[in-house]
Amino acid sequence: MPVNETASLEHTLTEDVGVSVDRVYMNALYPERFSKDEAERLEAVSSDGNGALRAACRAALSETRRAAAQREQLARLAELVTAPVRTLPFVFEPELGVGEIHELSEAID
């Protein structure tokens, strides 16, 4: 659910329905796998390389940008809602298996 709708839902639940909200979860948060310095190195390799080398570096840069954009939204969410905000990690497996469910349940707890 997008940030604006989440904030609106929390407001409706607390103000109109009279239900308290204990936590807000932001699902599918990308990991921050690469530092800023590493991203700059990957950018340089990506510009010079080709084929799978270039594609792998570009995929890493994509994830870095997406992770940063998500954290901007996470900060906005935390500002807009009153309940504590927790995060759940992005699951890269195509289908949820026992391992992934366990990982998520650990994060929810």
Partner 1 sequence: MAGVGELLEGKRVCICAGSGGVGKTTSSAAIAAGMAARGKKVAVLTIDPAKRLADSLGLPELGNEERQVDPKVFEDAGIDTQGGELWAMMLDAKATFDELVRRHAPDAETRDRILSNRIYQQLSNALAGSQEYMAMEKLFELHAEDRYDLLVLDTPPSRNALDFLEAPKRLMQFIEGRALQVFMKPTGLGMKVFGRGTSMMFSVLRRLTGVEVLEDLSEFFQAFSGMVGGFRERAKRVNELLANRETCFLVVCAPQGEPITEAVYFHRKLVEAKMPFGGVIVNKVHYESELPDHDPEQLRSELTTALNDEDLTQRVISNYENYRALAARDRKNIKRLTAEMRARLVIQVPYLDTDVHDLAGLMRINDYLFAAGARERTEIAAEA
If one asks whether residue 45 binds partner 1 (CB under 8 A), the answer comes out as yes
Maximal CA-CA distance, the chain: 58
If one asks whether residue 19 binds partner 1 (CB under 8 A), the answer comes out as no
CA 99 to chain centre: 19
* β-strands 24-29, 85-89 pairing: parallel
Single-letter code of the amino acid located at 36: K
Q: Which stretch binds partner 1 (CB under 8 A): 18-26, 53-61, 78-86, 100-108?
A: 53-61
Interacting residue ranges for partner 1, rule: CB under 8 A: 1-2, 4-5, 33-34, 38, 41-42, 45, 48-49, 51-53, 55-63, 65-66, 69, 92-95
